[in-house]
Structure 1
């Protein structure tokens, strides 16, 4: 390098640096694999250069330039070359986040190709902004009576001032309610869905419910018509209960020993239950064998005369032995 001309080396170095810088600039502005389009907007609505271009919700390009023209704004954007815009394509500026970022939504409609790669003003839209609200609300504000509006605002301010102690807790309650609803949104959704099902079921069964109410009305009417009979029945039932109570009280001295005797008999039978069961089981075959041995059939004839067996009324009448 010491033997070379320093001037030539410097010139060559500057040329190389210039070429590299030009190449970098070219690569930074070049859009390989993309195609440029333009869209005419009423205003930018906050759209800035470098923001995304989306097609059906997918990021497919970038906004490359914004230029102000006579009564509109021309937005230049690069879109992936594999996406073709038809002759009815539309473009819309939309808000991406609450922090103020936007994106350009392109909808490739129609057939063929977009004329001049430009989307005209009648097929673009921008989000609603404060300027539109002010312009559309000016006419309505002009029609208002300022004196009447001032009186209304004064009355409202006085009402709010008088109830300021109640407004604070009320707002806190609303905030807490909103927080609870937000935390339990799933449960609230399930509750509303269940309520909708119940409402649908009631609506489907409206005829049955009306019929049931009509039947209930008939029952109430019948009860009302027979109120006196029901009252008399209740009174007589009360009298009967009082009479039975009096009978039980009057015979208490006799019933108590009788019940004791009955209890003693039952206790005796229960204690001899096994013996009585065995007796009946053994007695049945014996009685059957005795009856068969007599030769008169499955019974045992007995021939006894009174007074061994008391005579019935017919026998005593025939014999003239009836006593009174």
Structure 2
């Protein structure tokens, strides 16, 4: 078998090697540029704004606080600024969509807030100037600042600025760490923007649930009001009962105090009467104890049954017809 002979690179034609290397480098550069410009899985849109307001390429594009893309370019077109940005494919921008440049941190970072509104498709993929806004209008700021500057006292302002510069110069060692702390704080806020968006969405869901349960909450509050009102009425009734009971106790106390001199002898007499009755009760009990055997012996002595024949002449015991006449006649 014949074996192919590989020619070393150093032995090849340098012109051809250089030409191939240039072509490969151009292809790689073109691919890098294409990858940086073309967004896979995203949609590209534009928005016309009055001025940049500090917005820069690479900053976030957010929808309701959630990052969904980034700003690709910021270009000047005539008197307006054209912002090119990308949005994830799952988000459709309707024909009434709006855009606004917002400040993200105190150090001047920004983001583009996009609000998908309406149905259909965004015309030409562009949000016009009348549906965009920026944090401030430079012309308005200059005009307002000019009017305010005219109202200021120039000598006094100069003295104030001089004093401020001296204070900053004296505190120069402390200003740097303070600015570093502010920078770290802004970075933390920017890093937690996703969690902040989730928190806002959760708060929105809670607000929706509360709105849906508004009728139930209102009914519950009305029932609670009725319960409180009934408890208040019952409390007033109990208070009146306590007041009346207190008055009755005070009246009984006064009666007992006033009649104590009369009641004490009556109670003593009652005690004596009870003692006498108890003594009579004891005597009667002894009589019954003594009479029981005697009566039993008398009943046994008669011998005619459980009764005793008594012979008593009239009128000690009236005849039966006499009793009927007394009672109005016998039937």
Q: Is TM more than 0.5 here?
A: no
TM-score bracket for the superposition, by shorter chain length:
0.3 to 0.5
